Each structure stands twice: as C-alpha cells, then as structure tokens.
Structure 1
Amino acid sequence: MESSFRGQRKLLMLVSGEKELSLAFTPLSHPLEADAPSVLVLLSRQNTCDNLAVRMFARSLNLSPSEESVLMGLCRGLQITEIATQHGVAESTVRSQIKTLREKAGAPSIRRLLHRVNSLPPVVPALRIITPMPHNATEFSHP
C-alpha cells in the first residue's frame, strides 16, 4: 500500500499450497494532488473454469456434454492423459474431441482455443432476491 500511496502500481501474489491470490494496487490520485491519496485494490479474477461464460460458450458452439467436459479439463490445465483418465476413455478419444472442439470454435490450436475462452467476459449467475410483494392494493394505486 505504501508504494501505491507514493503513486506506484504494485502487484502482490499470495500463495498457500496450490491456492493463489493476486492483488493489484493502483493509485487513483497523485500523491502531491490530494491530502488523502486513494488506492484501488483489485483481487485476482475468477478462475476461467468457474465462469458461467465458458458454459455459455460451449452451448453456443453446440458442444456435446463430453466435449464440454474436455474443454473444462483444458481450462483447468489438465493434460490429455489426465482428461482421458478422468473420463475413462483412450487418449485418442480425447484428442479427437479436442480436434472437434477446435473446429467448432474455429481455433487452429489448443492455445488459440484457450485464448478465446480466457477472453470471454465474466458472467455470473443472476442474484435471486426474494422480496415479499405487498398485498395491499392501495400501495399500487395511482393518485
């Protein structure tokens, strides 16, 4: 925070085992312009695989459930052998599904496919707020 108060941007990586959290500190004011400098703190973004946009992307390409599952495995950084083991199929099956995925997405490589997925906008499920509706008709009447 101190360097951000002095007008410098800073990236901090916190690691605990396999979990990682990154924080970006961005000064919003110049240290000489304001009495109380302000800093924007951003947390690492949601894991791509947990993003609803990936599922929407899969559906927009009309991926089969197994193709979608392979895509999710690729997003998690799994190797082809790991995906095959997880799904109980041969590596050649996974390679064939990846080829179909790439064709449907118009991506010449796995790298380009994952780049498209990582470029998707973040989408989160809608928040469902349940508020009781008043049953008194006078509250809805117009004057």
Structure 2
Amino acid sequence: MKITSKGRYGLRAMVDLAVNSETEPVSIHSIGERQDISDGYLEQLIAKLKRAGLVESIRGAAGGYRLARSAEEISVGDILRALEGNLTPIECPALEAESECVKESSCVTKVVWKRIDDALKDAVDNISLQELKQLELANEGR
C-alpha cells in the first residue's frame, strides 16, 4: 500500500489543526503557510476531512477550521481512510466481509494478505492525532 500526497499532506494538516486550533479556528492559508501546502490543494483535503466528520468549519470574520472531535478520538486510520479510501493493501475477496472468493477454501496466500491487512489497520488505528500533536509540540519546544 502506498500513501499518496493526499494522505501525507492531509495528515500534516490535521496535526497542524490539532496544535493550532485549540483556542480559535485556523484559516486554510495559515495551515498552508506553516505546512508549505497550496491553499487550493488544502481546500480539497479539508473538504474530504469535513465530509468524514473530522473537521468543522466556522463562518465569519474570525472563522476557519478546527477539529470536529478531540484529537484523542481521531486516529491516523480515520484520517487516511477519509483521504485515501480503503487501506487494504491488495484486492482480495477473502478480506472483504460480504465478498465470496471461489478460491478461498484452497488459497494459502490469503493468510499473508490477512496478516498484512490486520497489521496495517492495527498500526494506523492505534496512533491517535493526540500522539502526533504531542510529538509536534515537543519538536517545537512547547
């Protein structure tokens, strides 16, 4: 599985929001300046994150964006799924709950794909945005 620029930049934007939107909403432009991401691209990413219920917008002169839930409640997996879609590393019907695979009973490689899929999900679902926020703050010396 390869994470695209959507996932990489979106994760950076979410860490930025977690760090900078505690007291007031943050503008796309300010995130873009800090993260070196164009406003247009950030708008696309924020729209996806908003649809996924991870970000909310605040209207008005002092408006902008902030997290829709606490950083503790948002996982890296939530963010990547919102931006990248399904994180399954290979198209294998045996990994899909509703799918049927004609070779499932005799396929030995499904064990490999299942372990990789489980490990990936476990990794991204057990890293919270709060952990990344704390790392960012420590890097900044705050």
Bigger strand fraction: 1
Structure showing greater radius of gyration is 1
Higher relative contact order (CA 8 A, sep 6+): 2
Interval containing the TM-score (normalised by the shorter chain): 0.3 to 0.5
The normalised TM-score by structure 1 is: 0.32
